[in-house]
């Protein structure tokens, strides 16, 4: 009878001592923000930084980020059809990366042959006015390729 009790106590102690790690595994440190305009996204009340390549006239900017790893997804709209797209062809070393973070507003399918890059962001344009972008976690910052919701 003592062995099971000792094992249960040891297990409870291990969980208590590793609470942060366990909590992060259950609920990753993910934050979201919705900004109506870039003025809001760069204002004093902004909680998540928006990449510098997002145009000044961007609207309805939505971002979701794992604050420990930097893994992020982003969407925003443009008031008029885009004539000069953002980004350049992706470097071959990252061209095949897929987003590891998802959300209900994230597209169900992506035309990967139309994805371009800007820094560590992968970007694609839909309907000529709606941008989506992602940045996967940096493995050196503790990131993994495990999808998160």
- Would residue 14 count as lying in a domain? no
- Would residue 21 count as lying in a domain? no
Sign of CA dihedral 54, 87, 64, 50: negative
- Would residue 70 count as lying in a domain? yes
Q: How confident is the model at residue 1 (pLDDT cuts 50, 70, 90)?
A: low
Number of domains in the chain: 1
- Mind listing the pLDDT tens digit for each residue in 33-81? 999 999 999 999 999 999 999 999 999 999 999 999 999 999 999 999 9
- Would residue 129 count as lying in a domain? yes
pTM, rounded to two decimals: 0.75
The torsion of the CA quartet 32, 34, 39, 43, rounded to 10 degrees, works out to -40
- Would residue 79 count as lying in a domain? yes
- Would residue 99 count as lying in a domain? yes
Residue 98: phi, psi to the nearest 5? -115, 155
Domain interval for residue 68: 28-141
């Amino acid at each position: 009878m003592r062995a099971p009790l000792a094992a249960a106590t040891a297990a409870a102690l291990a969980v208590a001592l590793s609470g942060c790690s366990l909590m992060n595994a259950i609920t990753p440190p993910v934050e979201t923000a919705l900004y109506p305009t870039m003025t809001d996204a760069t204002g004093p009340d902004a909680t998540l930084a928006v990449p510098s390549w997002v145009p000044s006239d961007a609207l309805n900017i939505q971002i979701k980020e794992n604050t420990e790893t930097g893994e992020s997804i982003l969407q925003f709209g443009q008031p008029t059809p885009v004539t000069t797209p953002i980004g350049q062809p992706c470097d071959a070393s990252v061209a095949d990366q897929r987003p590891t973070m998802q959300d209900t507003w994230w597209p169900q399918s992506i035309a990967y042959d139309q994805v371009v890059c800007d820094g560590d962001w992968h970007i694609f344009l839909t309907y000529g006015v709606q941008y989506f972008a992602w940045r996967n976690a940096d493995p050196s910052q503790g990131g993994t390729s495990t999808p998160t919701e």
